[in-house]
Amino acid sequence: MVDSRIAGLVEAAKAGNAYALTQLAHAQALGVFMSRNVDMALDNLVRAASAHWPDAKRELEILARRSGAGPKKLRDCVNVETLRRPPPRRALLESPRVRVFEGFATPQECDWLIERARPLLGPAQVYQDASAELTQHEGRSNSEASFDFEAADVVLAMIYDRIARASGVPIEHFEVGKLLHYKPGETFARHTDFLETGGPMDEEIAARGQRVATFLTYLSDDYDAGETEFTDAGFKFKARKGDALMFLNVDSEGRPDPMSMHAGTPPTRGEKWVLSLWLRGKTVNSHHTPRVTAGRLPPEWYRDA
């Protein structure tokens, strides 16, 4: 059943409004206030592109992984199974447990995600001193943007599905993705991503689960320095454009792992762009059917990959 909050969008789409068709396609692909239906989402993108909406046409080209064809031909070239399939993971570190997926996203997907969320960039925030409130902090000078409904789309939905398969964590457990941007000299000082227990965050953890893992997709590589550093492990990682990194924030019992301490070091030249996603132990969004993993990842993540 369609939520009343987007009833007007549905009616405008039925009337052939190209913008509404594109937005409805995004809602259908992401399962926002309605059941997920990627086939219907793609069909609505075709309708919008056929009505000469350029954003819909370009989105179809990203999904089809080709250009120079009409909307219907592009739709025929979209292979949803291929878009959802992640590359194999490779072990980088055991404590904390870190894995890399080389070539996780295409260069076109990377550029598309940057373009989608760049206009929404603002100062990045953190949970400070175990507080439940997000604030700016001197240890984090980079900027960020949320992939809320305004920026989310079918391309992002397919990347989320790819992340779900790579991690074994259902998309219902994903926080809203963030576009992270680092200019030269900007940094995110050493920190952990798990939520602190035994304080103000306990209610949040009980409701929506611990941040069991972090998944980073690197959208650019034309910068110097700017590594992701696991400070207590003495390990730095510099990705190529399109590579992804997943690391666990909890141990096999679901307890916060202090060895997951890490930092986003500052680039000395160029700009660093990252899609950052936190994976929870419980369903995050109220419009999804609740699912629980007891705060832990699938068992294979604690065995040799």
CATH number, domain at 229? 2.60.120.620
Using CA atoms, how far residue 295 sits from 133, 176, 247, 299, 300, in Å, is 22, 18, 15, 12, 15
Q: Are residues 58 and 187 in the same domain?
A: no
Question: Which of 254, 144, 258, 267 is CA-nearest to residue 206?
Answer: 254
Q: Are residues 27 and 104 in the same domain?
A: no
Q: What percent of the chain has pLDDT over 90?
A: 78
Q: Which of 78, 100, 118 delimits the end of a domain?
A: 78
- Residues 6+ away with beta carbon under 8 Å from 156: 30, 113, 116, 147, 177
- Residues 6+ away with beta carbon under 8 Å from 20: 9, 10, 12, 13
Does residue 9 fall inside a structural domain? yes
Range of the domain at 59: 4-78
Does residue 84 fall inside a structural domain? no
Q: Are residues 56 and 95 in the same domain?
A: no
pLDDT over threshold 90, residue 285: no
Q: Are residues 184 and 284 in the same domain?
A: yes
Q: Which two tokens stand for residue 70?
A: 């009409």
Q: Are residues 95 and 215 in the same domain?
A: yes
Instruction: Kindly report the pTM of this predicted structure.
Output: 0.90
The more confident residue out of 271 and 286 is 271
Q: Are residues 58 and 116 in the same domain?
A: no
Rounded Cα distance between 49 and 70, Å, is: 9
Question: What local confidence, expressed as pLDDT, does residue 280 receive?
Answer: 95
- What one-letter code names the amino acid at 299? P
Rounded Cα distance between 213 and 248, Å, is: 4
Q: What percent of the chain has pLDDT over 70?
A: 87
Does residue 83 fall inside a structural domain? no
Q: Are residues 66 and 108 in the same domain?
A: no
Does residue 296 fall inside a structural domain? yes
Q: Which of 30, 47, 78 delimits the end of a domain?
A: 78
The more confident residue out of 106 and 3 is 106
Question: Which of 162, 165, 155, 166 is CA-nearest to residue 108?
Answer: 155
pLDDT interval class at 291 (50, 70, 90): very low
Query: Does residue 116 sit in helix, strand or coil?
Result: helix
Quote the number of domains for the chain. 2
Does residue 249 fall inside a structural domain? yes
Least confident of 131-145, 148-162, 269-283: 131-145
Q: Residue range 16-25: average pLDDT?
A: 96
Count CB-CB contacts under 10 A for residue 303: 8
Q: Are residues 228 and 144 in the same domain?
A: yes
Q: Are residues 94 and 74 in the same domain?
A: no
Q: Residue range 282-301: average pLDDT?
A: 59
Instruction: Please report which residue ranges of the chain form alpha helices under DSSP H.
Output: 7-14, 18-30, 38-50, 54-64, 71-77, 80-84, 107-117, 154-167, 202-208
Q: Are residues 121 and 263 in the same domain?
A: yes
pLDDT, mean over the chain: 90
Q: Which of 16, 46, 78 delimits the end of a domain?
A: 78
Strand ranges for 143-234 from DSSP E: 143-146, 178-182, 188-191, 211-218, 223-225, 228-230
Q: Are residues 117 and 17 in the same domain?
A: no
Rounded Cα distance between 69 and 49, Å, is: 11
Count CB-CB contacts under 10 A for residue 241: 17
Q: Are residues 18 and 111 in the same domain?
A: no
Question: Which of 38, 136, 143, 137 is CA-nearest to residue 80?
Answer: 38
Burial class (CB in 10 A: 0-12, 13-18, 19+), 36: middle
